[in-house]
Structure 1
Amino acid sequence: MTVSVLVVDDSGFFRKRLTEILNASGNIRVVGAASNGREGVELAEKLRPDVITMDYEMPVMNGIAAVKEIMQRCPAPVLMFSSLTYEGARVTLDALEAGAVDFLPKNFEDIARDGSELQRILRERILDVARSQPRAERGAAAPTVGRKPSPTTTDRPAPARDARQPQPDSRSTRPEPPARPARRRTPSRHYNVVGIGTSTGGPIALQKVLVDLPANFPAPLVLVQHMPGSFTPAFAERLNKLCRIQVRQAEDGDMLRPGLALLAPGGKQMMIENRGGQGRVRILPGDERLNYKPSVDVTFGSLARSFPGKTLGIILTGMGADGKEGCRMMKQSGSVIWSQDEKTSVIYGMPMAVAKAGLSDEVLPLDEIGPRLVEGVS
Structure 2
Amino acid sequence: MSIKVMVVDDSAVVRQVLSGLLNAAPGIEVTHAVADPLLAMERMKTVWPDVIVLDVEMPRMDGITFLRQIMGERPTPVVICSTLTEKGTQTSMDALAAGAVAIVTKPKLELKKFLQSNASELVGAVRAAAAANVSRLAPRAAAAVPVPRVKLTADAVLPPGEPRAMAQTTEQVVAIGTSTGGTQALEEVLTALPRVCPGIVIVQHMPEKFTAAFAARLNSLCEIEVKEAASNDRVLPGRALIAPGGKHMIMRRNGAQYFVEVADGPLVNRHRPSVDVLFRSVSRCAGANALGIIMTGMGDDGANGLLEMRQAGARTLGQDERSCVVYGMPKEAVKRGAVERSLPLSAIAAEIVQQMSRTGGRGES
Q: How much does 1:163 deviate?
A: 8.1
The alignment status of 1:296 with 2:275, answered yes or no, reads yes
| Residue equivalent to 2:349 | 370
Which residue type is aligned with residue 324 of structure 2?
S
* Cα contact 2:150–2:270 (8 A) shared by 1: no
Q: How much does 1:113 deviate?
A: 8.0
Q: What is the DSSP-based 3-state SS (H/G/I as helix, E as strand, rest coil) of the residue aligned with 1:222?
A: strand
| Residue equivalent to 1:234 | 213
| Residue equivalent to 1:151 | none
Distance across 2 between alignment mates of 1:283 and 1:72: 39
* Cα contact 2:300–2:329 (8 A) shared by 1: yes
Following superposition, which runs of at least 4 residues in structure 1 exceed 4 angstroms of deviation?
Answer: 108-117, 162-165
Q: CA RMSD in A?
A: 2.6
Which residue type is aligned with residue 103 of structure 2?
F
| Residue equivalent to 2:361 | none
Q: Percent identity?
A: 41
Stretch moving more, 79-88 or 222-231: 79-88
The alignment status of 1:278 with 2:260, answered yes or no, reads no
| Residue equivalent to 1:38 | 38
| Residue equivalent to 1:306 | 285
Residues 99-121 of structure 1 show CA distances to partners (whole Å, capped at 9, x for unaligned) of: 11111112398999877753333
Counting only pairs closer than 5 Å after superposition, residues 323-338 of structure 1 correspond to structure 2 as 323-338=302-317
Note closer, same or farther for the CA distance 1:60–1:222 as it changes in structure 2 (3 Å cut): same
| Residue equivalent to 1:2 | 2
| Residue equivalent to 1:123 | 123
Stretch moving more, 326-335 or 53-62: 53-62
Residues 138-163 of structure 1 show CA distances to partners (whole Å, capped at 9, x for unaligned) of: 39xx9xxxxxxxxxxxxxxxxx9x98
| Residue equivalent to 2:174 | 194
**Please, what TM-score do these two structures have when normalized by structure 1?**
0.81
Stretch moving more, 309-318 or 353-362: 353-362
Note closer, same or farther for the CA distance 1:360–1:49 as it changes in structure 2 (3 Å cut): same
Distance across 1 between alignment mates of 2:282 and 2:43: 48
Distance across 2 between alignment mates of 1:251 and 1:110: 32
Residues 293-341 of structure 1 show CA distances to partners (whole Å, capped at 9, x for unaligned) of: 1111111100000011110011111111110111011000110111111
Note closer, same or farther for the CA distance 1:113–1:278 as it changes in structure 2 (3 Å cut): farther
Distance across 1 between alignment mates of 2:30 and 2:196: 50
Distance across 2 between alignment mates of 1:86 and 1:335: 39
Q: What is the DSSP-based 3-state SS (H/G/I as helix, E as strand, rest coil) of the residue aligned with 2:288?
A: coil
| Residue equivalent to 1:138 | 136
Note closer, same or farther for the CA distance 1:38–1:191 as it changes in structure 2 (3 Å cut): farther
Distance across 2 between alignment mates of 1:315 and 1:8: 34
Q: How much does 1:372 deviate?
A: 3.2
Q: How much does 1:252 deviate?
A: 0.8
**Structure 1 gaps, min length 5:** 143-159, 166-188
Q: Kindly tell me the number of residue pairs found equivalent between the two proteins.
A: 332
Distance across 2 between alignment mates of 1:359 and 1:112: 43
Q: In the alignment, which of 292, 300, 306 is matched to residue 321 of structure 1?
A: 300
Q: How much does 1:45 deviate?
A: 4.5
Note closer, same or farther for the CA distance 1:251–1:80 as it changes in structure 2 (3 Å cut): same
* Cα contact 1:105–1:111 (8 A) shared by 2: no
The alignment status of 1:85 with 2:105, answered yes or no, reads no
Q: In the alignment, which of 210, 232, 236 is matched to residue 190 of structure 2?
A: 210
| Residue equivalent to 1:99 | 99
Distance across 1 between alignment mates of 2:267 and 2:69: 40
**Please, what TM-score do these two structures have when normalized by structure 2?**
0.84
Which residue type is aligned with residue 195 of structure 2?
A
Which residue type is aligned with residue 208 of structure 1?
E
Distance across 1 between alignment mates of 2:254 and 2:341: 30
Q: How much does 1:233 deviate?
A: 1.1
Note closer, same or farther for the CA distance 1:16–1:123 as it changes in structure 2 (3 Å cut): same
Q: What is the DSSP-based 3-state SS (H/G/I as helix, E as strand, rest coil) of the residue aligned with 2:44?
A: helix
Note closer, same or farther for the CA distance 1:334–1:353 as it changes in structure 2 (3 Å cut): same
Note closer, same or farther for the CA distance 1:289–1:354 as it changes in structure 2 (3 Å cut): closer
Stretch moving more, 280-289 or 116-125: 116-125
The alignment status of 1:358 with 2:337, answered yes or no, reads yes
Q: What is the DSSP-based 3-state SS (H/G/I as helix, E as strand, rest coil) of the residue aligned with 1:299?
A: helix
Residues 37-64 of structure 1 show CA distances to partners (whole Å, capped at 9, x for unaligned) of: 2333443343111111111111222111
Distance across 2 between alignment mates of 1:277 and 1:100: 41
